[in-house]
Chain A
Amino acid sequence: MKLVTAIIKPFKLDEVREALSGIGVQGITVTEVKGFGRQKGHTELYRGAEYVVDFLPKVKIEAAVAADLVERVIEAIEAGARTGKIGDGKIFVYDLEQVVRIRTGETGTEAL
């Protein structure tokens, strides 16, 4: 089992969600985050005080999937999230040791 984490541009969330459910991913967790890579921030001016704001709003998606689904998940996220401009984001894949469905107590791939 793998945990696929992706940082994407916020307005791409709907497209990614649709792409994922299209390949059978049952559920995802979404968090609002801030960050930067190569995309520059912006400058804010308040009277005489100038602030350079590096952090940009992003969205983090996490999906726990079976190992054999990972390649298609990565493709789906890429397709949904890509704009071709700097700041599109990154995908990280972690090894997932255990998964439990709280309601039923199922574990492992049945809980995915």
Chain B
Amino acid sequence: MKKFLASLALGFSLLAAAPAFSADAPAAAAAAPAATEAKADAAPAAAAPAAAGAPAAAAAAPAEAAPVLVPNKGDTAWMMVSTILVILMVVPGLALFYGGLVRSKNMLSVLMQVMVTFSLITVLWFIYGYSLAFTEGNAYFGGLDRLFMKGIWDNAAGTFANAATFSKGVVIPELTFAGFQATFAGITCALIVGAFAERIKFSAVLMFMVLWFTFSYLPIAHMVWFWMGPDAYSAKEVVDEMNSKAGLIWQWGALDFAGGTVVHINAAVAGLVGAFMVGKRVGYGREAMAPHSLTLTMVGASLLWVGWFGFNAGSALEANGFAALAFANTLLATAAAVLSWCVGEALMRGKASMLGAASGAVAGLVAITPAAGNVGIGGGLIIGLIAGFACLWGVNGLKKMLGADDTLDVFGVHGVGGIVGALLTGVFSSPSLGGPSAMGDWVTATMITSADFSIASQVWIQAKAIMVTIVWSGVVSLVSFKLVDLTIGLRVTEEEEREGLDISSHGETAYHG
């Protein structure tokens, strides 16, 4: 009866929003409005965020008809490719990375949880997720302007809405932006399953994901990433108003290029809470639970590395210098982390292991995520080196201290790596340390000068963003897991756990004989 009520409640909450596939004029408050009303601003002074391509025009008077912005084909193509790369990161990248680490009797359950979670979140994203994250609302949540993606394209007129990038006058189709962001939501949720693998109920995973996605992922994405776009900053007079419409953490000036907070810390905390609340695996600490295929784990880690170029460099939203910087950092930081994890392990125990190298790669990727387009290459190298050592501690010393059975070290890698990366982003974004600085004035698109950049204040802002994320995700996870436990239960029975989730939850075996 409880299960039935829970499913009903879930179903009704999804249907609650009236479908509104209106083909009418696009909603005025799109995530980054850049439709026909866009004003062409004066080209900014030589500023780092190449606003090249912005039509050189006098500051537009409100009554003047401004040129219609057309998506840049190179940028759009790059964003589509980036989206594909991020999908590759999840299926099969993350699926295999995680799958190889569990016992063979649970392989399929991990593959299922990753793939089905990703699919579920993608669907919810296109129903209400995108709207609540990337439209104008308040400082914590967006609005319902893009519910069911209404207004994102006009099939009668044959026009597509545009989304802003970080350069004035440069747009990509909003559908492309929404699709790209859908994969971020999907992978964030899929990451969490590693923490409670091998013992959680499949339906509990899905129910938890709906709740956590809605109440943790969406608001944090909105708080950190939502803003009105560079074209909205047309004159000094509107700056305060435009700032006030942005997400809370964006307003603080936190730098999170591709999701150190939104994705990694967010998911890691949820995973840790889950590991505590679901409880340890039967036989943990006594029985052998060695990975059944480190070969597949390596394949997964490699796909993650390759796909991450889309994750990081795609977060530049354009195929420009910042994408190139993010690309280079994604390559260098990861390589550095592989080396530092291997060195750390060799020093600790005499041997560098394949699992260590693969984990080092992921640690570097996680740490460079908030930093990718925000730090120079030297900063990227150092971030990678530090992340390898920090996360090695995270999966050893810290894990013992925390005492939870975080099966696949979600917190040890994504939590520690995300926190380290987010903090170091505040350090290495400084122009004095080779970084590109942070935006000082969106009207003229000028960066904060080296003299004015304060590492201490930026690091403090980063720390605030990290703390809000940890607390918000922690509380939402706690409540969500509790709700799931009270309605459908979190764990399978001990017999089912011993038999293996593949058979007991999915009626299949991964390998025969």
Interface of A toward B, CB cutoff 8 Å:
44-49, 51
A51 to B353, CA, bound (A): 14
* B502 close to chain A: CB less than 8 A: no
A51–B409 CB distance below 8 A: no
Kindly provide the distance from the CB of A24 to the nearest chain B CB, expressed in whole angstroms.
Answer: 35
B288–A48 CB distance below 8 A: no
Give the nearest-CB partner of B395 in chain A.
Answer: A47
B290–A48 CB distance below 8 A: no
A48 to B359, CA, bound (A): 12
A47–B349 CB distance below 8 A: no
Question: Which of A44, A46, A47, A48 has its CB near the most chain B CB atoms (within 10 A)?
Answer: A47
- B396 partner residues in chain A, CB cutoff 8 A: 47-48
A44 to B292, CA, bound (A): 13
Kindly provide the distance from the CB of B443 to the nearest chain A CB, expressed in whole angstroms.
Answer: 49
State which of B289, B351, B359 has its C-beta within 8 Å of the C-beta of A49.
Answer: B289
B351–A47 CB distance below 8 A: no
- A46 partner residues in chain B, CB cutoff 8 A: 101, 290-291, 353, 355
Give the nearest-CB partner of B354 in chain A.
Answer: A46
Could you list 19 examples of A-B contacts with CB < 8 Å? A45-B351, A45-B353, A46-B101, A46-B290, A46-B291, A46-B353, A46-B355, A47-B355, A47-B356, A47-B359, A47-B395, A47-B396, A47-B409, A47-B412, A48-B396, A48-B400, A48-B409, A49-B289, A51-B290
A48–B395 CB distance below 8 A: yes
- A45 partner residues in chain B, CB cutoff 8 A: 349, 351, 353
Interface of B toward A, CB cutoff 8 Å:
101, 288-291, 349, 351, 353, 355-356, 359, 395-396, 399-400, 409, 412
Kindly provide the distance from the CB of B463 to the nearest chain A CB, expressed in whole angstroms.
Answer: 27
Kindly provide the distance from the CB of B225 to the nearest chain A CB, expressed in whole angstroms.
Answer: 32
For the residues of A in contact with B, the DSSP-based class is strand
Give the nearest-CB partner of B287 in chain A.
Answer: A51
A51 to B290, CA, bound (A): 8
Q: Given A45-B353, A47-B359, A48-B409, 10 other A-B contacts at CB below 8 A?
A: A44-B290, A46-B101, A46-B291, A46-B353, A46-B355, A47-B356, A47-B395, A48-B396, A48-B400, A51-B288
A25 to B109, CA, bound (A): 50
Kindly provide the distance from the CB of B383 to the nearest chain A CB, expressed in whole angstroms.
Answer: 21
Kindly provide the distance from the CB of B107 to the nearest chain A CB, expressed in whole angstroms.
Answer: 16
Kindly provide the distance from the CB of A11 to the nearest chain B CB, expressed in whole angstroms.
Answer: 23
Kindly provide the distance from the CB of A92 to the nearest chain B CB, expressed in whole angstroms.
Answer: 28
- B356 partner residues in chain A, CB cutoff 8 A: 47
Give the nearest-CB partner of A48 in chain B.
Answer: B396
A45 to B353, CA, bound (A): 8
Give the nearest-CB partner of A43 in chain B.
Answer: B349
Across the A-B interface, the 4 shortest Cβ-Cβ residue pairs? A48-B396, A47-B395, A48-B399, A48-B395
- B290 partner residues in chain A, CB cutoff 8 A: 44, 46, 49, 51
A37 to B156, CA, bound (A): 80
Kindly provide the distance from the CB of A10 to the nearest chain B CB, expressed in whole angstroms.
Answer: 20
A46 to B292, CA, bound (A): 11
- A49 partner residues in chain B, CB cutoff 8 A: 289-290
Give the nearest-CB partner of B359 in chain A.
Answer: A47
- A51 partner residues in chain B, CB cutoff 8 A: 288, 290
A48 to B402, CA, bound (A): 13
Give the nearest-CB partner of A52 in chain B.
Answer: B288
A39 to B36, CA, bound (A): 79
A51 to B288, CA, bound (A): 7
Give the nearest-CB partner of B356 in chain A.
Answer: A47
Give the nearest-CB partner of B288 in chain A.
Answer: A51
A44 to B354, CA, bound (A): 12
Kindly provide the distance from the CB of B319 to the nearest chain A CB, expressed in whole angstroms.
Answer: 37
A27 to B288, CA, bound (A): 38
A45 to B355, CA, bound (A): 9
Kindly provide the distance from the CB of A96 to the nearest chain B CB, expressed in whole angstroms.
Answer: 30
A51 to B412, CA, bound (A): 20
Kindly provide the distance from the CB of B280 to the nearest chain A CB, expressed in whole angstroms.
Answer: 13
- B400 partner residues in chain A, CB cutoff 8 A: 48
A44 to B349, CA, bound (A): 11
- A44 partner residues in chain B, CB cutoff 8 A: 290
Give the nearest-CB partner of A47 in chain B.
Answer: B395
A46 to B396, CA, bound (A): 10
A14 to B356, CA, bound (A): 37
Give the nearest-CB partner of B408 in chain A.
Answer: A47
- B289 partner residues in chain A, CB cutoff 8 A: 49
Kindly provide the distance from the CB of A64 to the nearest chain B CB, expressed in whole angstroms.
Answer: 27
- B409 partner residues in chain A, CB cutoff 8 A: 47-48
A49 to B291, CA, bound (A): 10
Give the nearest-CB partner of A53 in chain B.
Answer: B288
- A48 partner residues in chain B, CB cutoff 8 A: 395-396, 399-400, 409
A48 to B351, CA, bound (A): 13
A45 to B399, CA, bound (A): 15
A46 to B291, CA, bound (A): 8
Kindly provide the distance from the CB of A21 to the nearest chain B CB, expressed in whole angstroms.
Answer: 30
A46 to B407, CA, bound (A): 12
A75 to B288, CA, bound (A): 39
